[in-house]
Amino acid sequence: MYRLFLSATLRVALVTVLMLATVLGTATSYFVYQIYQRQAETLASRVLAAIAYRQTSSLEVTPEYLESLATTKDDVTVILPDGSTVSNLSGISGPVFTSTRVSPSGEWTVIAAISQGPAYLMIGLVAMVTILVSAISLAVAYRVADRESRRVNRPLNDLAAHAETIGSGQPTRKAKPVGIDEIDRIARVLDDRAGRVGEVLEAERRTSREMSHQVRTPLTALSLRLEEIILTDDLAEAKAEAAVGVVQIERLTEVIDQLVKGRREGVRTEQEELDLSRLVGEQMVEWYPVFANRRRRITLQANGTVVAWASKAGQSQVLATLIENCLIHGRGDVLIRLRESGSSAVIEVVDTKGVLRLREGVDPFERGVSASGTGLGLALARTLVAADDGDIALTSRKPVTFTVYLPRFQRQDEEREAEVAAMAETESIGPA
């Protein structure tokens, strides 16, 4: 950019100087020629007047007399009435300016000639001055163009360096205004794009961390189940364990797809009629090997069927997060209780011997907050519960109890109310 700007400026300056030098040289040549031509005309007029005076005085026109009227560099020739000529014979060589004057009576003719040498000398001097001034002008133009090019190129280099940092994922400083509208506008656009790219990269990193967090322990459980398949000789048991493993893989695939889709399109869930007992049962089958390996148990306590209106993939992930949290940070058995409370379906995950180590007033669902972990799981769980119009809370610190409130599926109640209304209407229209 520096060379381009410098070259363009110098080309403009060169063309301008050449045009001015051409105009100045042409005008100078024209005026110099006019000056010396007028000198020849003046000389011819002066000689003609002098000869007319000598004619009235009956004096002879001689070469000596003509030499007294002209300089040694001028030629004067007089044509007498008898056709003879008289000249001062200065011997001018080369091109000359000439002027011819005839007396009013037509008897005398004066031809004056002035050498063009002085005119050429003056034109040459003017040309030298013009060239010198042009060279000085070009030198000044070069210095000015160099300074301005560097002034413009410096913020462009900074802008290029700033643009190179976009996409690196590292925090970048905002470009400083330089007073050039176009560059400042580009800088503002780059700052805006840098912020957006940074947000996208941070979202991708967060998604990667959450994926790693969510699939780490289920993969451990899956590996333990595969080890059991390798060690067993019972084909039926191996098939059963393999079937459970396939279910685990499918659930992990759903978790990953939901995380990726949630980060790219925002957290969106497909709510459906969800039997929480079945959901918890699937999780218990999946987590059983891990708890058994640590000599701990996971049990379900439910009073009847509890049906929620929520996303199966999302709430499976929430339940897996809470169970994993109890597994990693707790010591005792895990109890999962299901119940209904008004218009909510409630899931309680209790670590029977767990004690929350966070100090009072700290929100365990805040991203980055954890006693010994990454602080990602519970924050993600709250996001997924909120996406299903629910809520999650820490309802007890000892034993540690996490409670999830989900919208209760209402169709059964609506059908029951419709049946009661239909029965009441039938009784009202029965026989009198």
pLDDT digit string, tens, across residues 158-180: 777 777 776 565 656 666 676 77
**Cβ contact 85:64 at 8 Å:** no
CA distance 124 to 6: 32
**Cβ contact 347:338 at 8 Å:** yes
The residue among 166, 123, 168, 150 whose CA lies nearest residue 26 is: 123
Supply the mean pLDDT for the chain. Answer: 78
Lowest mean pLDDT among 21-35, 52-66, 299-313: 52-66
Q: Does the pLDDT of residue 371 top 50, yes or no?
A: no
Taking the chain, what is the end-to-end CA distance rounded to the nearest angstrom?
102
CA dihedral sign of residues 120, 121, 123, 127? positive
For residue 418, what pLDDT band results from cuts at 50, 70 and 90?
Answer: low
For residue 335, what pLDDT band results from cuts at 50, 70 and 90?
Answer: very high
Q: Does the pLDDT of residue 338 top 90, yes or no?
A: yes
How much is the pTM? Answer: 0.48
Lowest mean pLDDT among 23-37, 244-258, 361-375: 361-375
**Cβ contact 225:241 at 8 Å:** yes
Residue 262: the pLDDT is 56
CA distance 204 to 84: 112
Going along the chain from its start, the domains and CATH numbers come out as 2-138 (3.30.450.250), 206-416 (3.30.565.10)
Residue 425: the pLDDT is 59
Residue 244: the pLDDT is 72
pLDDT tens digits for 304-330? 889 999 988 888 888 988 888 888 888
Structure-token pair, residue 34: 């006019």
Structure-token pair, residue 143: 């210095």
Residue 291: the pLDDT is 86
Which tops the pLDDT comparison, 320 or 206? 320
What secondary structure letter does DSSP report for 408? B
Asked, as a colleague might, if the bond just before 399 is cis with ω within 30 of 0, I would say yes
Most confident of 20-34, 207-221, 248-262: 20-34
Residue 348: the pLDDT is 94
Which tops the pLDDT comparison, 345 or 108? 345
Q: Does the pLDDT of residue 401 top 80, yes or no?
A: yes
Tell me, what amino acid is at 198? Answer: G
Residue 337: the pLDDT is 94
Q: CA distances (Å), 340 to each of 276, 331, 410, in order?
A: 11, 28, 12
Q: Does the pLDDT of residue 378 top 60, yes or no?
A: yes
- Output phi, psi for 70, to 5 deg: -120, 160
Most confident of 106-110, 226-230, 400-404, 414-418: 400-404
Share of the chain above pLDDT 70, in %: 78
Q: What is the mean pLDDT of residues 347-352?
A: 92
Please state whether beta strands 74-79 and 400-407 pair in parallel, antiparallel, or not at all (unpaired).
Answer: unpaired
Q: Does the pLDDT of residue 132 top 80, yes or no?
A: yes
Q: Does the pLDDT of residue 276 top 90, yes or no?
A: yes
Structure-token pair, residue 170: 């590292």
Please state whether beta strands 298-302 and 334-341 pair in parallel, antiparallel, or not at all (unpaired).
Answer: parallel
Residue 277: the pLDDT is 92
Most confident of 5-19, 55-69, 265-279: 5-19
Q: What is the mean pLDDT of residues 74-82?
A: 81
Q: What is the mean pLDDT of residues 25-37?
A: 88
Residue 383: the pLDDT is 84
Residue 308: the pLDDT is 93
3-state helix, strand, coil in the chain (%, to 5): 60, 15, 25
CA distance 311 to 274: 7
Share of the chain above pLDDT 90, in %: 10
Q: What is the mean pLDDT of residues 375-394?
A: 83
Lowest mean pLDDT among 68-77, 143-152, 157-166, 354-363: 354-363
**Cβ contact 330:351 at 8 Å:** yes
Residue 390: the pLDDT is 92
Q: Does the pLDDT of residue 406 top 50, yes or no?
A: yes
Q: Does the pLDDT of residue 384 top 50, yes or no?
A: yes
